């Protein structure tokens, strides 16, 4: 009897890993599926001037990530009082409904409101993480979380090309409905097959948070600028293709392919440079990747066609994507998770500010200025990093 109970628990835990990971693939897929054609859709329905429309693109694409960054801790704290599964299912349903509604609105204010709602509910990924980690055996937690993270990355990889293709074949409305359907399917599978986990124990009263040091703030700033490099481009891709005299319908098809290609090199680079850092050292690897990343970011201004632009972008993201986990690894000895959590917020902030900065600059200037501006702010953060994090201080962090 006891053996049968153990087998049943193991099967439940396995189902949790499979279907929560599947739902995170669905969420990452749907958001990247939509984000690739969202700027084109906004430009199409906007009644405003070119400059105002670009600002709308930045706000609608970028602002949800600010809300996700702000509310992720809130969603995690709710698992102390409510069923993690119930919270997670409600979040998936809200995402599905908002995507469906987006396909039936041409009002930019309403579109922005729906995106903000998505940003607020975006923190349910924290709950998914809690369900998977709570379901896993101690010796398998890192492996299971690796599967969880890989499912999200896979969604980010395949979402853009399929999103641009779908928008061309069935239109923007069909694209939004498709994303809604994927998330609704994720909801159904999780409802049927995910076993709820216990609520997290309440935190002790009087717990004091970790004081954020100067070094942590500098590392946050460097991570933030790296994420801006990774996330600024999709919101201005229509203008990039226009610069190369590419017809809008063809540009929409190409957009997904370009994003897929540089996302693939980002994945490869993350593993490759992380492996090489064991041999050459974390500090030297961070220095190398940031210097080369800034150089290739600047070289985007010299591109003269889609092919050389894409190659430069692929090399750049293949380097920059690896810097965040390397920066995090400088703080692995930190006994409190609040530091890691604070550094992780740099990714959400960069996700939000990348498109906002890109569209704001492009509204009043040109692409070359945008590329060089991002290189410049990265250089400032990098100089501060080098000044504070000398190699002799790494072991003391």
Looking at the structure, tell me whether residues 226 and 144 fall in a common domain: no
Given a contact cutoff of 8 angstroms between Cβ atoms, the answer to whether 123 and 74 are in contact is yes
Considering the domain boundaries, does residue 237 fall inside one?
Answer: yes
Considering the domain boundaries, does residue 48 fall inside one?
Answer: yes
Among 116, 117, 122, CA closest to 60: 116
Looking at the structure, tell me whether residues 174 and 256 fall in a common domain: no
The token pair at 70 is: 């702000």
The token pair at 204 is: 């002790």
* pLDDT interval class at 234 (50, 70, 90): confident
Looking at the structure, tell me whether residues 66 and 154 fall in a common domain: yes
Looking at the structure, tell me whether residues 80 and 218 fall in a common domain: no
Looking at the structure, tell me whether residues 265 and 134 fall in a common domain: no
Quickly count: other Cβ atoms within 10 Å of residue 271's Cβ: 12
* pLDDT interval class at 259 (50, 70, 90): confident
How many Å apart are CA 37 and CA 47, to the nearest integer?
A: 18
Taking only the tens place, the pLDDT of each residue in 271-309 is 788 778 878 888 899 999 999 999 999 999 999 999 999
pLDDT at residue 207, as a whole number: 46
Of 168-172, 272-276, 393-397, the one with minimum mean pLDDT is 393-397
Given a contact cutoff of 8 angstroms between Cβ atoms, the answer to whether 235 and 354 are in contact is yes
Looking at the structure, tell me whether residues 148 and 3 fall in a common domain: yes
Residue 392 vs residue 222, higher pLDDT:
222
pLDDT at residue 395, as a whole number: 43
**Averaged pLDDT score across all residues of the chain:** 84
Q: Is the pLDDT of residue 337 over 70?
A: no
Considering the domain boundaries, does residue 145 fall inside one?
Answer: yes
At which of 200, 232, 255 does a domain end? 200
Q: What's the CATH number where 46 sits? A: 1.20.1250.20
pLDDT at residue 271, as a whole number: 74
pLDDT at residue 7, as a whole number: 61
Q: Is the pLDDT of residue 153 over 80?
A: no
Percent share of the chain, pLDDT over 70: 86
Taking only the tens place, the pLDDT of each residue in 76-100 is 777 778 888 999 999 999 999 999 9
Given a contact cutoff of 8 angstroms between Cβ atoms, the answer to whether 119 and 63 are in contact is yes
H or E segment and range at residue 207? none
Considering the domain boundaries, does residue 46 fall inside one?
Answer: yes
pLDDT at residue 298, as a whole number: 96
Considering the domain boundaries, does residue 214 fall inside one?
Answer: yes
Report the b/e string of 170-190 with b at 16+ CB within 10 A. eebeebbbbbbebbbebbebb
Quickly count: other Cβ atoms within 10 Å of residue 148's Cβ: 21
At which of 200, 233, 257 does a domain end? 200
**What residue numbers bound the domain in which 309 lies?**
210-397
Looking at the structure, tell me whether residues 172 and 228 fall in a common domain: no
At which of 174, 200, 226 does a domain end? 200
Given a contact cutoff of 8 angstroms between Cβ atoms, the answer to whether 228 and 324 are in contact is no
Taking only the tens place, the pLDDT of each residue in 341-373 is 677 678 778 888 888 899 899 988 999 999 999
Sign of CA dihedral 369, 383, 58, 241: positive
Taking only the tens place, the pLDDT of each residue in 101-124 is 999 999 999 999 999 999 888 878
pLDDT at residue 208, as a whole number: 47
Considering the domain boundaries, does residue 205 fall inside one?
Answer: no
Given a contact cutoff of 8 angstroms between Cβ atoms, the answer to whether 294 and 368 are in contact is no
Looking at the structure, tell me whether residues 104 and 138 fall in a common domain: yes
Looking at the structure, tell me whether residues 6 and 73 fall in a common domain: yes
How many Å apart are CA 143 and CA 136, to the nearest integer?
A: 9
Given a contact cutoff of 8 angstroms between Cβ atoms, the answer to whether 342 and 220 are in contact is yes
Residue 156 vs residue 171, higher pLDDT:
171
How many Å apart are CA 4 and CA 2, to the nearest integer?
A: 5
Looking at the structure, tell me whether residues 195 and 274 fall in a common domain: no
Residue 111, helix vs strand vs coil: helix
Q: Mean of the pLDDT values across residues 319-338?
A: 69
pLDDT at residue 384, as a whole number: 94
Looking at the structure, tell me whether residues 153 and 247 fall in a common domain: no
| 126-to-24, 69, 85, 122, 236 alpha-carbon distances in Å | 11, 11, 12, 9, 29
* pLDDT interval class at 30 (50, 70, 90): very high
Percent share of the chain, pLDDT over 90: 40
Given a contact cutoff of 8 angstroms between Cβ atoms, the answer to whether 382 and 294 are in contact is yes
Instruction: Give the count of domains, the chain.
Output: 2
Looking at the structure, tell me whether residues 167 and 229 fall in a common domain: no
pLDDT at residue 210, as a whole number: 47
Residue 14 CB contacts under 8 Å (≥ 6 apart), including other chains: none
Q: Mean of the pLDDT values across residues 45-57?
A: 90
Considering the domain boundaries, does residue 396 fall inside one?
Answer: yes
Residue 35 vs residue 156, higher pLDDT:
35
Q: Is the pLDDT of residue 333 over 70?
A: no
The token pair at 258 is: 């370009």
Helix axes 50-78, 84-102, angle to 10 degrees: 160
């Amino acid at each position: 009897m006891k053996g049968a109970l153990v087998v049943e628990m193991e099967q439940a835990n396995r189902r949790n890993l499979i279907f929560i990971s599947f739902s995170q693939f669905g969420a990452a897929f749907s958001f990247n599926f939509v984000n690739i054609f969202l700027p084109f859709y906004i430009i199409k329905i906007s009644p405003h001037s070119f400059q105002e429309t670009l600002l709308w693109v930045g706000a609608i694409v970028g602002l949800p990530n600010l809300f996700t960054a702000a509310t992720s801790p809130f969603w995690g704290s709710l698992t102390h009082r409510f069923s993690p599964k119930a919270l997670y299912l409600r979040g998936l349903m809200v995402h599905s409904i908002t995507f469906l509604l987006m396909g039936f609105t041409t009002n930019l204010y309403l579109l922005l409101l729906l995106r903000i709602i998505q940003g607020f509910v975006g923190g349910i990924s924290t709950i998914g993480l809690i369900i998977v980690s709570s379901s896993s055996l101690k010796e398998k937690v890192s492996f299971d979380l690796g599967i969880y993270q890989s499912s999200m990355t896979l969604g980010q990889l395949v979402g853009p090309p399929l999103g641009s293709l779908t928008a061309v074949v069935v239109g923007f409305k069909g694209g939004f409905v498709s994303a809604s359907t994927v998330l609704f399917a994720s909801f159904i599978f999780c409802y049927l097959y995910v076993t709820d986990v216990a609520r997290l124990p309440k935190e002790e009263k009087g717990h004091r948070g970790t004081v954020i040091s100067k070094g942590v703030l500098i590392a946050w700033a460097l991570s933030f600028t790296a994420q801006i490099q990774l996330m600024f481009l999709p919101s201005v891709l229509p203008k990039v293709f226009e610069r190369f005299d590419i017809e809008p319908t063809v540009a929409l098809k190409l957009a997904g392919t370009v994003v897929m290609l540089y996302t693939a090199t980002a994945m490869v680079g993350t593993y490759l440079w992380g492996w090489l850092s064991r041999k050459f050292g974390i500090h030297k690897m961070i220095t190398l990747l940031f210097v080369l990343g800034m150089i290739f970011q600047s070289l985007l201004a010299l591109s003269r066609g889609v092919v050389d632009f894409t190659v430069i972008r692929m090399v750049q993201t293949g380097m920059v994507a690896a810097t965040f986990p390397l920066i995090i690894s400088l703080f692995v000895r930190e006994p409190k998770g609040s530091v890691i959590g604070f550094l992780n917020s740099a990714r959400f902030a960069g996700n939000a500010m990348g498109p906002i900065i890109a569209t704001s600059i492009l509204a009043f200037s040109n692409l070359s200025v945008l590329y060089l501006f991002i290189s410049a702010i990265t250089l400032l953060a990098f100089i501060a990093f080098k000044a504070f994090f000398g190699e002799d201080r790494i072991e003391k962090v």
